[in-house]
Structure 1
Amino acid sequence: MTQTFTLDGREIPFEPGQTIIQAALAAGVFIPHLCYHPEFKPHGSCKLCTVKVNGRHTASCTYKAAPGLEVQSNTEELNGERRTLVQMLFVEGNHFCPSCEKSGDCQLQATAYELGMMSPHFDHFFPDRPVDASHPELLLDFNRCILCSLCVRASRDVDGKSVFALAERGIDSHLIVNAASGRLADTNVALEDKAVQVCPVGVILRKRKGFAVPIGQRTYDEAPISGHLPLAEEC
């Protein structure tokens, strides 16, 4: 007999060991997220996937599905909290969508649209972070990093290289390149690496590829992020 839990009044089937977000996405129900990836161990860092389970807030990427759970996700309260988190991400980094090569393919931008974000609300930090153009094929723009750690986990767990890492803590936390020089050119990163493919924003970019696909024809130009399902098998 198939086991189920209830998500926003809908019965969601799940397999033993699945988390709430895994079961929801497999069933075609979108839960906003940025740091979740089906190939990596759940991290729970972005908190966008927070839901209410039997009335208590929890990250749906780490909470195991169980029979009879009453889960709320698509509510005014939770979407308002998610919108605030996204607004904070926009002001903590330098995210200028009209001039960004990732516009239309950016999960942060698409999530902001999905949540109805109309303004950043908070004062911009305008951080002064470096741009690393040392690698012949790749460009790193640290100004756009949202600390999701996807590239860190991909490089460590999939590529087996540990090219990237997060340094410091709290507000001083930032992405670094694991090389004595701090330059991407002095690592063994390759274009086919998983770490190069998973960035949800515009930090890791391939050189000479910017704007190859015209604005209006990009991933989230054609359909909102909630329309790209099943996300359980995508970045």
Structure 2
Amino acid sequence: MTAKLYIDGREICASEGDVLIDVAADYGIHIPSLCYMRGRPCLGTCRVCSVVVNGSIMPACTARIADGMVVEVAQPEVADMRRALVEANFSEGNHNCPSCEKSGRCELQAVAYEVEMVVSRFPYRFAERERDQTARHIFLERDRCIFCQRCVEFIRDIDTGHKIFAIHGRGTHARIDIDVVLADRMPPEQVREAADICPVGCIIEKGRGYNDPIGKRKFETRSIRDRVLEGDKK
């Protein structure tokens, strides 16, 4: 059933029940996100896609289209809130972009440019999280993790369906962990997928690094806004 809604005053028609962040993108309106991936189940963990829907703030990845919906994306207060959420991610981890293997391909870095972040308004914690290199093919740079949970939900053992990654602990003690036995059974294509869906440089494929380029600096040649609106995040 077709519904009529308004995004920043613009009248839009879409199917009831569709995901707001996708509909906005289809109409050339970019709403940044760090956990949502089009075509996959919504995680709703990062809240960077927050917008105003009928007067209430909610993540655009969980909002479903309904007739008469009024959405504000560019409203200054909610835009600043999105920027604050991105800044919080930088302050809570150690994101030294010039020395990171994923610089130029990092979604956190790209979204920071998109929301016009200059420096975090929050004190930097300089968290110390122990690296994990016990798996045969995967290196975990834990202090870069933003706990988006993409790897937890979307990367599973091919035979059993069991989760390979997990979040353990809470608050400042939370960390990303890996089931080494299951990880060592991952085929090369799945290892590459895990590294690629990580929005930051937390999951690194061993054997690929500075001496062996791990990818083009995609967000420097085309912005994350343009890639999302064109349906290409590869």
TM-score of the superposed pair, with normalisation by structure 1: 0.87
Report the CA distance shift for 1:186/1:47 in structure 2 as closer, same or farther (over 3 A).
Answer: closer
Deviations 1:56-77 (Å, cap 9, x if unpaired)?
Answer: 1111111111122110012221
Contact 2:164 2:183 in 1 (8 A): no
Does the aligned pair in 1 maintain the 2:19–2:62 contact within 8 Å?
yes
- For the pair 1:188 / 2:185, whether they are aligned, the reply is yes
The amino acid of 2:171's aligned partner reads: G
1:135 and 2:135 matched? yes
Secondary structure of the corresponding residue to residue 228 of structure 2: coil
Q: Is the 8 A contact 1:134 1:185 kept in 2?
A: no
In structure 2, the CA distance between the partners of 1:232 and 1:61, relative to structure 1 (3 Å rule), is farther
Match of 2:167 in 1: 166
> Which stretch of the first structure deviates more once superposed, 17-26 or 81-90?
17-26
Shift, 1:201, TM fit: 0.3
> 2:93 aligns to what?
93
Q: 1:158 to 1:77 in 2, by over 3 A?
A: farther
Q: 1:205 to 1:87 in 2, by over 3 A?
A: same
TM-score (norm 2): 0.87
Q: Using the TM superposition, give the Cα deviation of residue 171 of structure 1 relative to its aligned residue in structure 2, in angstroms.
A: 3.1
Identity %: 37
Report the 3-state secondary structure (helix = DSSP H, G, I; strand = E; otherwise coil) of the residue aligned with 2:91: helix
1:25 is matched with which residue? 25
Separation of aligned partners in 1, 2:66 and 2:233: 24
Q: CA–CA distance in 2 between the matches of 1:218 and 1:93?
A: 22
Q: Which residue of 2 aligns with 1:117?
A: 117
Mapped to 1, the partners of 2:200 and 2:63 lie a distance apart of 26
Query: What SS does the aligned partner of 2:87 have?
Result: helix
Structure 1 unaligned spans of 5+: none
The answer to whether the 8 Å contact 1:152/1:166 transfers is yes
Q: Distance in 2 between matches of 1:157 and 1:74?
A: 41
1:54 and 1:69 in contact (8 A); partners too: yes
1:35 matched residue in structure 2: 35
- Which stretches in structure 2 are left out of the alignment for 5+ residues? none
For 1:57 and 1:99, locate their aligned partners in 2 and report how far apart those are by CA, in whole Å: 36
Letter in 2 for 1:57: I
Q: Aligned-pair distance for 1:130?
A: 1.9
Tell me what 1:59 maps to: 59
Aligned residues: 230
1:76-101 Cα distance to aligned partner (Å, 9 max, x none) = 21121111111111111110001101
1:205 aligns with 2:204: yes
1:221 is matched with which residue?
220
Q: Kindly indicate whether the alpha-carbon contact (under 8 Å) linking 1:3 and 1:67 is maintained by their aligned counterparts in 2.
A: yes
Matches of 1:192 and 1:51, distance apart in 2: 36
8 Å Cα contact 1:44/1:59 also seen in 2: yes
